[in-house]
C-alpha cells in the first residue's frame, strides 16, 4: 500500500473566507475517497494567514473547520499572490517532513478539477525519482511590460525565455525532489512567480520536467462540460457549469479521489502533522515560518 500526498492550495484569490466553499465542493465530490486502485491517497489544504479586521474571526472559522475535517495546514505567512513562492517552499518543507514515505505528491489549486483514478494510473507507471510532470511550458517568454501580472525585470531574469517549468495550476513531483528543490532554492534568485521559480530550481539541479504521456491529461483553459472528456483527463480548469454537474460526475465515471478525513485509527494526530518549523534561504532572502497547530 502506497500513499500519495496531495497539497491543495487556493487559486488567484487572496481571501480565505470565500475559499471554504471551494474546499467543501472538493470534499463532497472528487475528494470523497481515500483509497484508489489499492493506493492510499491523502489530501491537505495549505493556507497562509489572513490579514484585516476579520483576521481573528477567520482564524476561529479555520479552527472549527480543522476540527471537523483534519485536513488543513496553516503556516505563518500572508496568503497572497506575491507570496506564492513562499507558500510553495512551505509545501515542500512540509512534504519532506511528513510525507517522505509517499512516492509522489501533487500540488493543485482549489479551483481545479482532478480525476484521481487517472492520476493514480499515471503514477503507478511513473519514475520514482527526479520526476515532475504537469502542463509543461517550453520556451516561455519573459514579459517585460510593467503592467503585466507576470512582469519580470531584467535584474531578476536576464534571459529572454524561461527554462521549462510545470504550470502552477497543478503539477506532480516525486517525493525525492522535495529535499532537492529546497536545497536548490539556496542557490536560485528568489522570484514571486512560483512555478517559474521551481523551473529555475529544476534547471539548477539539471533535471527537466517531464511532459505527460498524453497531452490531453492536463488542461488549463476552461471548456464546456463533457462526461467523456472529463473521464480521460487528469486535471482541468473547470467552467462554472462544473458545479452543476458534480452529482452526475460522481454517478457517471465517478472521479474518485482523495480526501483525507482524519478518521483513521493509525494516523498521527493533526497537531503533530502541523507543528513544524520551516526555514529556508535563497541568495535573496530568508524565510522562517512556524506552522500553526490547527
CA distance 223 to 279: 40
CA distance 175 to 131: 9
CB-CB contact of 158 with 196 (8 Å): no
Round to whole Å and give the CA distance between 118 and 107.
16
User: Which pLDDT value is given to residue 221?
Assistant: 54
Whole-number Å distance between alpha carbons of 30 and 243: 12
Query: How many CB atoms are located within 10 Å of the residue 293 CB?
Result: 14
Q: What is the pLDDT, as a whole number, of residue 274? A: 38
Give the per-residue pLDDT at 223. 52
Listed as ranges, residues in the chain with pLDDT below 50 are 11-18, 225, 230, 235-236, 239-294
C-alpha cell at 15: 481571501
Element (H, E) at 66: helix 55-69
Beta-strand relationship, 72-78 and 132-137: unpaired
Q: How many CB atoms lie within 10 A of CB 213?
A: 10
Return the closest-CA partner of residue 227 out of 208, 203, 254, 205.
254
DSSP assignment letter at 151: B
Task: Please give the class, per CATH, of domain 3-134+165-290.
Answer: alpha beta
The residue whose grid cell reads 517585460 is 144
- Residue 264 grid coordinates: 483513521
For residue 166, the 8-state DSSP code is: E
pLDDT at 218: 82
Q: Compute how many other C-beta atoms are within 10 angstroms of the C-beta atom of residue 126.
A: 16
Q: For the beta carbon of residue 217, count every other beta carbon within 10 angstroms.
A: 20
Is the separation of the CB atoms in 261 and 243 below 8 Å?
no
What distance, in Å, lies between the first and last C-alpha atoms of the chain?
28
Residue 269 pLDDT: 38
* Tens of pLDDT, residues 122-177: 999 999 999 999 999 999 999 999 999 999 999 999 999 999 999 999 999 999 99
Q: Which residues share a beta bridge with 35?
A: 40
Whole-number Å distance between alpha carbons of 3 and 38: 10
Amino acid at each position: 500500500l502506497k500513499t500519495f500526498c496531495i497539497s491543495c492550495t487556493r487559486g488567484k484569490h487572496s481571501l480565505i473566507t470565500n475559499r471554504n466553499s471551494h474546499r467543501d465542493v472538493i470534499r463532497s465530490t472528487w475528494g470523497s475517497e481515500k483509497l484508489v486502485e489499492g493506493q492510499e491517497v491523502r489530501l491537505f489544504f495549505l493556507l497562509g494567514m489572513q490579514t484585516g479586521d476579520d483576521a481573528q474571526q477567520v482564524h476561529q472559522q479555520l479552527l472549527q473547520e480543522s476540527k471537523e475535517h483534519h485536513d488543513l495546514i496553516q503556516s505563518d505567512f500572508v496568503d497572497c499572490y506575491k507570496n506564492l513562492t513562499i507558500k510553495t517552499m512551505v509545501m515542500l518543507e512540509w512534504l519532506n517532513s511528513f510525507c517522505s514515505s509517499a512516492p509522489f505528491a501533487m500540488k493543485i489549486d482549489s479551483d481545479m478539477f482532478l480525476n484521481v483514478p487517472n492520476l493514480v494510473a499515471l503514477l503507478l507507471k511513473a519514475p520514482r525519482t527526479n520526476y515532475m510532470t504537469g502542463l509543461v511550458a517550453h520556451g516561455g517568454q519573459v514579459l517585460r511590460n510593467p503592467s503585466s501580472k507576470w512582469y519580470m525585470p531584467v535584474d531578476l531574469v536576464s534571459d529572454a525565455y524561461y527554462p521549462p517549468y510545470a504550470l502552477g495550476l497543478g503539477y506532480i513531483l516525486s517525493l525525492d525532489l522535495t529535499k532537492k528543490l529546497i536545497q536548490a532554492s539556496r542557490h536560485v534568485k528568489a522570484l514571486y512567480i512560483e512555478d517559474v521559480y521551481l523551473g529555475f530550481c529544476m534547471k539548477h539541479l539539471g533535471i527537466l520536467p517531464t511532459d505527460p504521456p498524453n497531452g490531453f491529461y492536463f488542461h488549463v483553459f476552461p471548456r464546456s462540460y463533457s462526461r467523456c472528456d472529463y473521464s480521460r483527463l487528469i486535471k482541468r480548469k473547470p467552467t462554472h457549469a462544473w458545479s452543476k454537474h458534480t452529482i452526475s460526475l460522481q454517478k457517471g465515471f465517478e472521479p474518485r479521489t482523495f480526501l483525507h478525513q482524519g478518521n483513521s485509527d493509525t494516523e498521527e494526530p493533526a497537531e503533530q502533522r502541523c507543528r513544524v518549523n520551516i526555514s529556508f534561504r535563497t541568495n535573496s532572502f530568508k524565510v522562517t515560518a512556524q506552522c500553526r497547530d490547527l
